[in-house]
Chain A
Amino acid sequence: MALFSFSGITSLISKLRREPEANANVDWNEIEQQLINSDLGPKLSVELVELLKKNSNASLEESLLELLGKDRDRDLVKNQNPNPNVILIVGVNGVGKTTTVGKLAHYLVAAGNKVVIGAADTFRAAATGQVSTWAINAGATLVSGKDGADPAAIAFDAVAKGFEIGADFVLIDTAGRLHTKAGLMDELSKIRRVIEKRTSVGEVLLVIDGTTGQNGLAQAQIFAQTVGVTGVVVTKLDGSAKGGIAFAIERDFGAPIKFVGTGEAISDLAPFEAAAFVAALISS
């Protein structure tokens, strides 16, 4: 049974510091369990515990932070030239892409940027209406087409609009698609190619639902392969899930977590903070 309650691993670590001999009595299994419970995955969790065992001077928190690269650059990629920065938002169905587009637009507008949103989900019922509501609330310019229209064409038009009005950012909302559907993944790379006829795509943000389990790794792998992923947004962290899979994704694929979504309101988006994320990850 547990030697200590899991009010926080930090307390354990300070205990270890005070009494190094306690190391022998630490219930490593419980730490491992805690990590697994936050969706870090069994492999990474075991690896971390081994690391800790070897180096009991480092706290779990510090080790996790080390692994995440606490000083990594997590800012949005910005052009040197005056062209609009194009951000493609991608992910599987229902993870929070459209909501993220709305919140991100709000975030950018609040920082004084001019933002265009391209409604390139022409597939799901009422998707255009949904994103247009967000565009209005965020004070962004919307470029949309008819249901069933070619999403690449809409993305291209949105970028063109961005040039026309001198926008700082063009956010492209795309339809949710499972990474296992080759045809739909092709469509996504086509969207990217078509935009690139006009300008470069600086940022491809993969949206990961914070409740996602180990399948998140497969999602990241295939999305990275087909469109390239430059950053991750973890959503729904206002729930009971910890979003550990995003950690595993950053670790395995290198794409840094850039933002977290913490609710359904327009202001519920924040730049990722490694320390806060890690603290939440290991709190029970």
Chain B
Amino acid sequence: MFDSLSSRLTKTFTGLRSRGRINPVDIEETCEEIRIALLEADVADSVVTLLVEKVRTRSLEQISLDKKGINPGQQIISIVHEELVAILGGSARRLRFAKTAPTVIMLAGLQGSGKTTLAGKLAAYLKSEGNTPLLVACDLQRPNAVDQLQVVGSSVGVPIFAPEPGNGVGDPVKVAKAGIEFAKQKVHNFVIVDTAGRLGVDKELMEQAKNIRDAISPNEVLFVVDAMIGQDAVNTAQAFLDGVGFDGIVLTKMDGDARGGAALSIASVTNRPVMFLSTGEKSNEFEPFHPDRMANRILGMGDVATLAEQAKKALDGDSAQKLEEKFISGEKFTFDDFLEQLQAMKKMGSMSKILGMLPGAQSAAMKKQIAAIDENELIRAEAIIHSMTPNERQEPKIINGSRRARIARGSGTEVFHVNNVLDRFSAAQKAMKQMRNQPGLGGAANLPGMPPVSGISGMPAAKVAPPPKRSKSGNPAKRALEGR
């Protein structure tokens, strides 16, 4: 939809290179481009003004035209990037735990920002770490919000404390207080308090949120905010900071294509760290926050590092290692391996989500390609491979016409679907061979056999990915808490 900053600046600077010198007028023009790009990414106007001012000063001091190979545009982009990271990177930290259990986490935010879904994700994560969380239903306002939390809680196997039916009935302050008592009695070591969505300008409801906070003295109040929010982010964040106060920020719906400039606005205005990202509707779709990646995203520079990490996460322990060994030993790549990868990719989430993180994904042409991807393709390919005999999976060469027809029947597909999968498989095989001859490019980021990638024209190879840092923990949510 919008040009990325780099493509904007490339345009600005093509004229410049021929002139060979940079002057304040050029910088001025560039600063205007930066301003527009940040505004299009929904960074608050006031924050943009401050940022651009800094960039202007630094550019005049630091831009050198003598640096061979680095054009002034690139130098300015890296200055902008550094400034964004400086704001975003402030003081990220882990969740604070209470000295004496339970640790109490309170969620607050606007209506529809994703609090209840996040409550489920936090509960699932804490439980997976061996804790005994309790969910407390304090949204007694929105129709059937209590039911929603019940369903979310039971789907992740975490009990919920919901003494009031909601739909306007019950006092959330009392429920919150009773929830803490209940947790103490039943020795839950974490309590997650879901509250009703409220507007910053709603004095009465802000007062209520404050009363909930005062009643339970949470160890963390998390401000949950939709990544798609626009200029109002600063007003709302300030209102919540003044009204209830909060300790950390969670950005939700990050699986969309919003640039998420609000992260910058809110972090800058409230001086609170962004702690997590919520990236989907499933209970495991939540992630640590990385300032550098967020800066890239705001500038429309894609996010190869996250892509690589997700790929690695999806190819879980064993199968990733097996594949790596196979890969190194030069062993034959079979349909069984292919199947494993397909399953891993399904785990990674939708193809469009993955591709959306690549550089250039914001361009109109790329978006069209992404939108055209048939998510059912993965499911179909899986069914097709399941209909093959073990022999066929090991020796795909033997799959002749009549076998193809049988496989199509068995998997409820058409022969051309089977042909398609066979084609992709041999392309993947070929890719494996090629990669083996390019040392240093291994690792999950390359995802050999990632079928639709080869079918997309103009797709940049995922080579740019730096090797993902080894995390201390295999659990994604735990890594989230390890911060950076």
The interface of chain A, by Cβ under 8 A from chain B, is 33, 36-39, 41-43, 92-96, 102, 123-127, 129-130, 133-134, 178-183, 185-186, 209, 211-218, 221-222, 225, 236, 238-242, 244-245, 264
Task: Kindly list chain A residues whose C-beta atoms are within 8 Å of the C-beta of B112.
Answer: 93-96, 209, 236
A211 lies within 8 A of B352 (CB): no
Task: Kindly list chain B residues whose C-beta atoms are within 8 Å of the C-beta of A37.
Answer: 45, 231
CB of B262 within 8 Å of the partner chain: yes
Can you show 19 pairs from A to B with CB atoms below 8 A apart?
Answer: A39-B232, A43-B40, A93-B114, A96-B112, A133-B167, A180-B257, A180-B352, A181-B375, A185-B371, A211-B110, A213-B42, A214-B42, A215-B42, A225-B371, A238-B199, A239-B201, A241-B231, A244-B230, A264-B142
B370 partner, pick from A93, A124, A180, beta carbons under 8 A:
A180
B264 to chain A, nearest CB (A): 12
Task: Kindly list chain A residues whose C-beta atoms are within 8 Å of the C-beta of B259.
Answer: 214-215
Q: Chain B: interface residue count, which band?
A: 35 or more
- Which of A36, A211, A236 is the most central at the interface, judged by chain B CB atoms within 10 Å of its CB? A211
A94 to B228, CA, bound (A): 11
CB of B95 within 8 Å of the partner chain: no
A181 partner, pick from B110, B167, B352, beta carbons under 8 A:
B352
A221 lies within 8 A of B144 (CB): no
A214 lies within 8 A of B256 (CB): no
Which residues of B in the span 307-322 have a Cβ within 8 Å of any Cβ on A? none
- Which of A92, A133, A181, A238 is the most central at the interface, judged by chain B CB atoms within 10 Å of its CB? A181
A133 lies within 8 A of B114 (CB): no
CB of B59 within 8 Å of the partner chain: no
A221 to B1, CA, bound (A): 9
B350 lies within 8 A of A183 (CB): yes
Residue in B closest to A213 when the chains form the complex, CB atoms: B230
CB of B151 within 8 Å of the partner chain: yes
Residue in A closest to B373 when the chains form the complex, CB atoms: A182
Task: Kindly list chain B residues whose C-beta atoms are within 8 Å of the C-beta of A38.
Answer: 231
B147 to chain A, nearest CB (A): 4
- Which of A180, A213, A238, A264 is the most central at the interface, judged by chain B CB atoms within 10 Å of its CB? A213
CB of B431 within 8 Å of the partner chain: no
Chain B interface helix/strand/loop/mixed: loop
B389 to chain A, nearest CB (A): 30
A126 to chain B, nearest CB (A): 4
Which residues of B in the span 161-178 have a Cβ within 8 Å of any Cβ on A? 167
The interface of chain B, by Cβ under 8 A from chain A, is 1-2, 35-36, 39-42, 45, 110-114, 116, 141-145, 147-148, 150-152, 155, 167, 199-201, 226, 228-233, 235-236, 239, 253, 255-259, 261-262, 281, 350-353, 356, 370-376
Task: Kindly list chain B residues whose C-beta atoms are within 8 Å of the C-beta of A245.
Answer: 230
B39 partner, pick from A42, A236, A244, beta carbons under 8 A:
A42
A213 lies within 8 A of B142 (CB): no
- Which of B116, B144, B145, B373 is the most central at the interface, judged by chain A CB atoms within 10 Å of its CB? B144
The 3 A-B residue pairs with the shortest CB-CB distance, nearest first, are A213-B230, A94-B112, A183-B375
Known: A37-B231, A92-B228, A213-B230. A180 touches B40 (CB 8 A): no
Task: Kindly list chain A residues whose C-beta atoms are within 8 Å of the C-beta of B39.
Answer: 36, 41-42, 214
Task: Kindly list chain B residues whose C-beta atoms are within 8 Å of the C-beta of A239.
Answer: 110, 199-201, 232, 236
Residue in A closest to B362 when the chains form the complex, CB atoms: A218
A130-B143, A211-B236, A238-B199 known, 12 other contacts, Cβ within 8 Å: A33-B45, A39-B232, A41-B40, A92-B228, A94-B112, A126-B147, A127-B148, A178-B256, A181-B353, A182-B374, A214-B259, A215-B259
Residue in A closest to B154 when the chains form the complex, CB atoms: A125
A182 lies within 8 A of B370 (CB): yes
B239 lies within 8 A of A213 (CB): no
Known: A130-B143, A179-B256, A213-B42. A96 touches B236 (CB 8 A): no
A248 to B356, CA, bound (A): 24
A211 partner, pick from B114, B116, B229, B353, beta carbons under 8 A:
B229
